[in-house]
Amino acid sequence: MENVVTRLLQCRDLLFRFGEQPVLDGAALDVEAGESLALLGKSGSGKSTLLRIIAGLEVPERGEVVIDGNIATSGARLLIPPHHRGVAMVFQDLALWPNLSVAENIRLGLSGLRLSRRECDERIEDVLRLCEIDDLARRRPASLSGGQQQRVALARALAMRPELLLLDEPLGGLDLLTKVSVLGQLARLRHELGFAVVLVTHDSVEVQGLCDSLAVLEGGRIVERGRLEDVVANPVSELGRAFVATMLQM
């Protein structure tokens, strides 16, 4: 039982359907504290759905989500609401609130925590500095570049001081240089703040830049899971082999 303590997240036997079609069927995934995991899977394989279940935004029909030793979701029942899970997420489309400035986006994101105004201000200042966007505080999202918007979404997520950060292909639309710079920043932040990451991606640059382990979702379950070196040395799944092949070519 002692390894349960270091397990930050455990998903067991998840079943999730849209209509009749099962998206997840028997999916199980563990993430350790401070780990950085890349989640691979074909388009439509249910990666976003898995992240949403972990965050508590969807409820599976069967299975369990355990966070920090507490049962968060159990068999179609939501026991811990999303904002009490210590989980933050950067969405595929970033989901920045368009009418609010950068600072207001972060402030509204903090409003669930019941902080005092001063604490709020401090956190906003902190996280703006950490993400190197202090000079953008008063701008609206639509007036920012893609890379700047990523940082804002990241800052809003990190201001919550999450233990687990879920990233759903957030770097998709970025050019290589910007991507590398955001990745570097993420890696540094993870080092400083010590949160765990689950990164959904198709991109070996992102995996190498940020992740130390890798999982593959296929046919509704996790078919491969291991440390990055191990998977690279001996990939089991089809997607895993293809991914390693392209990664080694580079």
Partner 1 sequence: MDFAARTTAARRRGLIAAAILALAIAPAIPLLIAALRGSSDYSLWSDVFIKALLASLSLATGVAVVSLGLGLPLGLLAALYGPRRRPILLVAQALPLLLPSFLLAIGWRHLPAVGLPKGLFPPSGFGGAALVMGLQAAPLPLLATWAACRNLTASQIDAARLHGGERIVLTRAAMACAPVAIVAALLAGILSLSDPGAAQVFRCPSAAMEIRTSFAALGDRVLAARQCLVMAGLALLLTAPVLLVGLPHLAAAVLARQTRPVVPYRHRLLGGAGQAGLVALLLVAVGLPALGLCLPAIERPMFARAAKTVLDTAPATLAYTLGAAAVAVSLATVLALLTMHSLRLRLAVLAALMVLLALPPALGAIGVVHAATVAPPWLDWLTRSRLTVAVVLGLRLLPVAAVAMMRAVGSLSPSWSDAASLCGVPKRRFLYRVTIPVLMPTILIGLLLVAVLAAADVTTTQLLYPPGRASLPLAVLTIMANSPEGLVASLSLLYLLGVVLLMLVATMLSAWLLRKWKTS
Ligand X SMILES: Nc1ncnc2c1ncn2[C@@H]1O[C@H](COP(=O)(O)OP(=O)(O)OP(=O)(O)O)[C@@H](O)[C@H]1O
Residues that bind Mg ion (CB under 5 A): 48
CB of 121 to ligand X, least distance (A): 36
Give which of partner 1, Mg ion, ligand X, none residue 17 binds (C-beta under 5 to 8 Å, depending on kind): none
Among 2, 3, 20, 44, binds ligand X (CB under 6 A): 44
CB of 186 to partner 1, least distance (A): 18
Q: Which residues in 161-191 are b (16+ Cβ under 10 Å) and which e?
A: ebbbbbbbbbbbebeeebbeebbebbeebbe
DSSP characters for 191-238? HHH--EEEEE-S-HHHHHHH-SEEEEEETTEEEEEEEHHHHHHS--SH
CB of 199 to ligand X, least distance (A): 13
Q: Toward partner 1, which CB reaches closer, 93 or 230?
A: 93
125 DSSP β-pair partners: none
Does 20 sit near ligand X (CB under 6 A)? no
Cα separation, 2 vs 122, in Å, equals 37
* Of 27-35, 135-143, 202-210, 233-241: span binding partner 1 (CB under 8 A): 135-143
CB of 54 to ligand X, least distance (A): 12
Does 29 sit near ligand X (CB under 6 A)? no
Q: Are 29 and 9 in contact (CB under 8 A)?
A: yes
User: How big is the CA angle at 166 (ends 184 and 248), to the nearest 5 degrees?
Assistant: 50
Q: Toward ligand X, which CB reaches closer, 18 or 176?
A: 18
Residue 225, both tokens: 């899971």
Cα separation, 221 vs 13, in Å, equals 9
Give which of ligand X, Mg ion, partner 1, none residue 238 binds (C-beta under 5 to 8 Å, depending on kind): none
Does 143 sit near partner 1 (CB under 8 A)? yes
User: Where is 10: in which H helix or E strand?
Assistant: strand 7-18
CB of 61 to Mg ion, least distance (A): 20
Q: Which residues bind ligand X (CB under 6 A)?
A: 18, 23, 41, 43-49
Q: Which residues bind partner 1 (CB under 8 A)?
A: 52, 55-57, 59, 61, 76-78, 81-84, 87-89, 91-93, 95, 97-101, 108-113, 138-140, 142-143, 156, 160
